[in-house]
Amino acid sequence: MTSRPAAFKTMMPDWLVLSIRYRRRFRRFPNFLRPRTFNEKIIRRIILSRDTRLALFADKYKIRDYVAVRLGPAVLPTLLYVTTKPSSIPFADLPDRFVVKPSHGSGWVQIVADKGKLDEHALVQTCERWLALNYYDVTKERAYRELEPRIMIEELIDDGTGLAPADYKFHVFNGRVELILLIMGRLSNKSHSFLDRSWQLVDVSVQSIPKMLTQPPPPPHLAEMIKAAELLGRDIDFVRVDFYDTADRFVFGEMTSTPGSGMDPFVPDSFDISLGKFWRPMPVSWEEGVPAVQGNEAVS
């Protein structure tokens, strides 16, 4: 039987649920009608936007076509298998190392570093649990509500920094990268740094992840990743584009239009306003579907 508090929560409108969550995180209610901060503008987008692109960006399977058109297929991680039936995963045909994730959520991932040590039954059960979940129910992000759930198996990117590669998150405002978030050690000893497009440290951090103590070296393909992120985000007022980088190539990770669900406080808090100033409204003129692009613009 559903408890009364849980039942009441399901009856609450999304804007109220998000406002209460925001109040708990920031100790103030969000002004999503006249937002000033970056996180308030994310909350406004979650509650009010009906831009069809947001669902495309959230779908880790469908976004591959969008990226292939704009950047070329070479930047995509190799897709080894995709299914809606985890019991059909052909483990015998997979390489020794791979990544398993659902297409319809965020933060759900399992890295298989040694197939010989894998509990296949447990992984199938994990995948079935993912398929049974709607990420909208977790975060109230409408973009996830109607996504078709799939299980994706991709190549494991090895950049030499550990089991999980370094994650470069490019914040693109009106087609220009203004901020880069670097996350290292996602599965152990997680840390982060914020940098500008010239790879200079920005004196800011988020509360949820320990801050790096020294400046990290620039990735091999920094200029190419900036160009690629700006091509992917050139038609929208804000989107975050994530890449991995190796000595040989950079690889697309994901796109998100509502990072952190608008619930990640900055330190100092004033940076939330500074970053929010970059987010200027852009008229929505993009039609549903993938716009045609001539040639491989980002990686030629």
What are 96-130's pLDDT values in tens digits? 999 999 999 998 999 999 999 999 999 999 999 99
What are 69-93's pLDDT values in tens digits? 999 999 999 999 999 999 999 999 9
Domain 13-75+158-300 part of CATH 3.30.470.20: yes
- In the chain, CATH 3.30.470.20 sits at 13-75+158-300
- Cα(33)–Cα(54) distance, rounded to whole angstroms? 19
Query: Tokens 């103590």 map to which residue?
Result: 213
Residue 285 predicted with pLDDT over 60: no
Instruction: Look at residue 11 in the predicted model and tell me its pLDDT.
Output: 78
Whole-model pTM: value is 0.91
Classify burial at 161, counting beta carbons within 10 Å of its beta carbon; exposed 0-12, middle 13-18, buried 19 or more: middle
Bin 140: left if φ > 0, else alpha if -120 < ψ < 50, else beta.
Answer: left
- Cα(289)–Cα(287) distance, rounded to whole angstroms? 6
Q: Which tokens belong to 109?
A: 């991932």
Instruction: Look at residue 207 in the predicted model and tell me its pLDDT.
Output: 86
Average pLDDT, the chain: 91
What are 181-226's pLDDT values in tens digits? 999 988 778 899 999 999 999 999 998 889 998 889 999 999 999 9
Rounded to an integer, the average pLDDT of 129-137 is: 97
Instruction: Look at residue 284 in the predicted model and tell me its pLDDT.
Output: 56
Instruction: Look at residue 291 in the predicted model and tell me its pLDDT.
Output: 42
Strands lying side by side in the sheet with 110-112: 79-83, 151-155, 98-102, 110-112
